[in-house]
Structure 1
Amino acid sequence: MDLIDVNLENRKIESTIISFTIYSANAWMTLIAPLIIGLLASKLYAKGDFTTGEIALYIIFGLIHLAFAAAMFYAATKKSVSIAVDEIVEENKNLKRVRIPKATRMYDTSIAQQSVIYLMTLELESLIDEMNSRPANRPMNKRLKDWTEGTERILSHLVKRRTQLFGYSNDSLYNFALYMYDASSEDLYINWRSHDDRLTPSGRRWKPGHGHVGLAFIQDQAKICADITKSSELADNNSRHNDNHNYRSFISIPIKDSCKATGGKKPLGVLVFTSSAPNQFSWQRDKFFTLTIAKLLSIHIERNIIECTGAPL
Structure 2
Amino acid sequence: MTRSNDYLFDWIRPLAKTLKILRLVFTGLGVVLIAVGQVWMDYDKSWQADWSNLIFWMGVLAVCFTGVLLVFFERDSVSVLLDLKGSEELVVQQQDYISYLSKRESILLTWQTVTKLLSELLDQALTEPEISREKQEMMMLSTVEILADYKLTLLQIADEYCNISIYEYRDDENLLVCVACYRSRPSDAREKHRKWKVGEGHVGKAFELQRELICGDASAPDVKPWISASPENFDENDDVRYVSLAALPIAVSAEEPIGVLIVTSSEAMRFANSGEDHGDEDEQEARRLAAAALQDFAAQIAQIMSVCTSRAVEPSEESADER
Aligned twin of 2:228: 238
What is the TM-score of this pair, normalised by structure 2?
A: 0.63
Distance 1:104 1:235, change over 3 A: farther
**Deviation at residue 272 of structure 1 after TM alignment:** 0.7
Aligned twin of 1:174: 162
Distance 1:307 1:241, change over 3 A: same
Query: 2:221 and 2:112 mapped to 1: Cα distance?
Result: 31
Query: 1:109 and 1:73 mapped to 2: Cα distance?
Result: 49
Query: 1:306 and 1:198 mapped to 2: Cα distance?
Result: 31
Letter of the 2:91 counterpart: N
**Deviation at residue 125 of structure 1 after TM alignment:** 0.1
Distance 1:235 1:88, change over 3 A: farther
**Deviation at residue 158 of structure 1 after TM alignment:** 1.7
User: Superposition pairs for residues 111-260 of structure 1, below 5 Å?
Assistant: 111-130=109-128, 132=129, 134=130, 143-170=132-159, 172-197=160-185, 200=188, 203-230=193-220, 232-234=222-224, 237-239=227-229, 240-258=235-253
Secondary structure in 2 matching 1:265: coil
Aligned twin of 2:274: none
Letter of the 1:268 counterpart: I
Which of 277, 298, 304 is the equivalent residue of 1:300?
Answer: 304
Secondary structure in 1 matching 2:224: coil
Q: Is the 8 A contact 1:212 1:234 kept in 2?
A: no
Query: 1:150 and 1:65 mapped to 2: Cα distance?
Result: 86
Query: 1:215 and 1:120 mapped to 2: Cα distance?
Result: 26
Q: Is the 8 A contact 2:151 2:158 kept in 1?
A: no
Distance 1:188 1:107, change over 3 A: same
Secondary structure in 2 matching 1:224: strand
Secondary structure in 2 matching 1:228: coil
**Deviation at residue 126 of structure 1 after TM alignment:** 1.2
Structure 1: gaps of 5 or more residues: 1-20, 22-38, 40-49, 135-141, 259-263
Which 10-residue stretch deviates more, 73-82 or 176-185?
Answer: 73-82
Aligned twin of 2:42: none
Q: Is the 8 A contact 1:207 1:214 kept in 2?
A: yes
Structure 2: gaps of 5 or more residues: 1-22, 24-37, 39-48, 230-234, 272-285, 315-323
Query: 1:215 and 1:236 mapped to 2: Cα distance?
Result: 9
Secondary structure in 2 matching 1:267: coil
How many residues of Structure 1 are paired with residues of Structure 2 in the alignment?
Answer: 255
Identity %: 18
Distance 1:68 1:229, change over 3 A: same
